[in-house]
Structure 1
């Protein structure tokens, strides 16, 4: 796309409808030897909205996810929209679902409780009681009760 914008800007006499569309929507920002594709600005003093390549997408998502403190989809989207123009909500949701830190802090499924009934006896020390620790939500080697 970067190359298309550059060729459309150079060829002034042989522009077609596609070239005009590209020039209306995009522009090239040159920072030293690096050229970046940005969203067309009305005024030169506006902050540029960068278009991210596929190779850079992961780094941008990771940086915004950490900057928001492992924030959710909406917080990440707000952070990304300040600077970048072409990162989708689906990409953010996919990144967030694969984040190990976010998976650790996700709530675990709650087990429906075990009913505790007191033991009623007539004599002292005629019955005993054993408490079982329910570990169904975090079983270890197939064992669910201690």
Structure 2
């Protein structure tokens, strides 16, 4: 894929992402800002007993569903694991979806939706409709689909 095709694919993907969150998705978008807010809720939840502060329902919800990881001084939000043998699944901000999906898509050899979802589920949380939208934007995959026996 040349640079112009990649820029156009990124623009189409970002437009589809906006449409997905504005029209179709009932859940709020995981932006950097929202992830930062959730990290703050979890940190407040953990600090509440020391500070004699009362916890609210948001504190309990986020502390029960997510963990905060710190890698190299940077904090990340991860889905809560059921056991220590489960993989750490990073909750990726929507601003980083395209780059992560592009890397995984290339690593799977343009394998399509199912291969990407299988690879993603042990690394990142990205909604399935977003993955489907990404695959639809891939020129190489669309060409493979048009000429499957070549």
TM-score by structure 2 length?
0.64
Q: CA RMSD in A?
A: 1.7
Deviation at 1:18? 2.2
Q: Distance in 2 between matches of 1:50 and 1:106?
A: 31
User: Which of the pair is proportionally richer in helix?
Assistant: 2
Partner-residue secondary structure (3-state), 1:11? helix
Unaligned runs of 5+ in 2: 1-37
Question: Are positions 1:25 and 2:40 aligned together?
Answer: no
Question: Are positions 1:11 and 2:48 aligned together?
Answer: yes
Deviation at 1:80? 0.4
Unaligned runs of 5+ in 1: 109-146
**RCO higher in structure (CA 8 A, sep ≥6):** 2
Q: Which residue matches 1:92?
A: 131
How many pairs align? 107
Larger radius of gyration: 1
TM-score by structure 1 length?
0.66
Residue 112 of structure 2 contacts residue 141 of structure 2 at CA under 8 Å; is this kept in 1?
no
Q: Which residue matches 2:105?
A: 65
Q: Distance in 1 between matches of 2:74 and 2:84?
A: 19
**Displaced runs of 4 or more, over 3 A:** 42-46
